[in-house]
Structure 1
């Protein structure tokens, strides 16, 4: 059996927060377009330009959802899009499969890394310090592929149900 190894998140990803550029709602209204504009919990608008092009992992930086977890706190973003300063943006440095990492972050207890009571926050230092245990990259990819099959089936069933209504 393969050995699983413990890492800090900052050891397995590159954090690209320095590339984020927030736009006010007034600015976004003057820049309406077809590119998704992401915040902490997903797409909040569409604008006329993009900063990122590719697949990256977005992780909520602040908001009550960090504690309640009513929605996933991590999500994959694909294609061309803009990210504001309420979501951390990370890419793999080759040690982890970003899809596997997304599943892990949405299913582990992060309460020890979250600060603030009125406005919960996962700052960059605490994000980097999150402890995770990873198998080999090959096994991570296999696990992510397996879980993705179920996610795709769930999404297909959701669309079928929507069409029945």
Structure 2
């Protein structure tokens, strides 16, 4: 089968053919420009992002390409990155900069389409698989009218902005939660305030009543009165997970969690653990083949 009928071309033709968008060779629309080597020791402090095959890998004070632009990963065993860059940027020699040849192509639309399809299936080679320029150029690319490209890219950009806002809000809330935990349970600020006859700052009376008003000596130094010091083994139990190969997992509503994080789903009726818990990964490299798998009823709790 010709290259244009496989990989990217076949996927896009199947997904978009019914909307009657013409399919054009990628090589007629885009040029993949090589990056330039820039070892870490040669980079100077600056605000220009540096991109490699897996995404951003550093900063520099000089740009190689003018933005906005799209960076495509070129080689490596892992997933090839597809990155949108708002400003000027540098691409090292393991990635490409995607340049358009025609003005009726919107780069942001191209970015979303390529990111959706992915590039890994176009790599060739075994020891260091590479995305070749000729292979990419032979793929078919659906080309709606420019006005439709702009509308699609705008709608997806709004969603991306919302996702980014939610991510930054979550980071802020997480930082606030960590600061509050340290204040209450490491520095014991509410207990210290009550011991000095002050109302704990930023705390209502009902919550403040839950904290003691004096310290006592303990094996760990001063500790809040009535808060006993206990061994973790007396209050917690580490339970090994259950073997559940990915080939045996069935899509469901219950998350499967391994030592590296969420790694799939199972039907509700097949869960093995029913309560909220904390998953701890295995630290010893020699035990890597025995990663625990724990399944929870509530997918919101990890």
Instruction: Check whether TM > 0.5.
Output: yes
CA deviation after TM superposition for structure 1 residue 32, in Å: 3.2
CA deviation after TM superposition for structure 1 residue 2, in Å: 7.2
Does the aligned pair in 2 maintain the 1:114–1:122 contact within 8 Å? yes
CA deviation after TM superposition for structure 1 residue 3, in Å: 3.8
Q: Tell me the equivalent position of 2:41.
A: 26
Match of residue 42, structure 1, among 39, 55, 61: 55
Match of residue 73, structure 2, among 60, 68, 88: 60
Does the aligned pair in 1 maintain the 2:55–2:82 contact within 8 Å? no
CA deviation after TM superposition for structure 1 residue 78, in Å: 2.3
Is 1:127 equivalent to 2:136 in the alignment?
Answer: yes
Judged with a 3 Å threshold, the aligned counterparts in structure 2 of structure 1 residues 52 and 145 are, in CA distance, closer, same or farther, namely: same
CA deviation after TM superposition for structure 1 residue 148, in Å: 1.0
Comparing 122-131 with 145-154, greater Cα deviation is found at 122-131
Match of residue 78, structure 1, among 86, 92, 99: 86
Q: Tell me the equivalent position of 2:156.
A: 147
Does the aligned pair in 2 maintain the 1:100–1:140 contact within 8 Å? yes
Query: For this pair of structures, how many residues does the alignment match?
Result: 156
Q: Tell me the equivalent position of 2:124.
A: 115
Instruction: Tell me the TM-score normalized by structure 2.
Output: 0.48
Separation of aligned partners in 2, 1:3 and 1:138: 15
Match of residue 162, structure 1, among 150, 154, 171: 171
CA deviation after TM superposition for structure 1 residue 25, in Å: 2.5
Does the aligned pair in 2 maintain the 1:2–1:136 contact within 8 Å? no
Q: CA RMSD in A?
A: 2.1
Where do 5+ consecutive residues of structure 2 fail to align? Answer: 1-17, 175-302
Of structures 1 and 2, the larger Rg is shown by 2
CA deviation after TM superposition for structure 1 residue 7, in Å: 1.1
Separation of aligned partners in 1, 2:55 and 2:142: 26
Instruction: Tell me the TM-score normalized by structure 1.
Output: 0.83
Is 1:10 equivalent to 2:36 in the alignment?
Answer: no
Offset from partner CA, 1:34-57 (integer Å, 9 cap, x none): 322111122211123222222111
Judged with a 3 Å threshold, the aligned counterparts in structure 2 of structure 1 residues 32 and 109 are, in CA distance, closer, same or farther, namely: closer
Larger RCO (CA within 8 A; separation ≥ 6) = 1
Where do 5+ consecutive residues of structure 1 fail to align? Answer: none
CA deviation after TM superposition for structure 1 residue 109, in Å: 5.5
Larger proportion of strand: 1
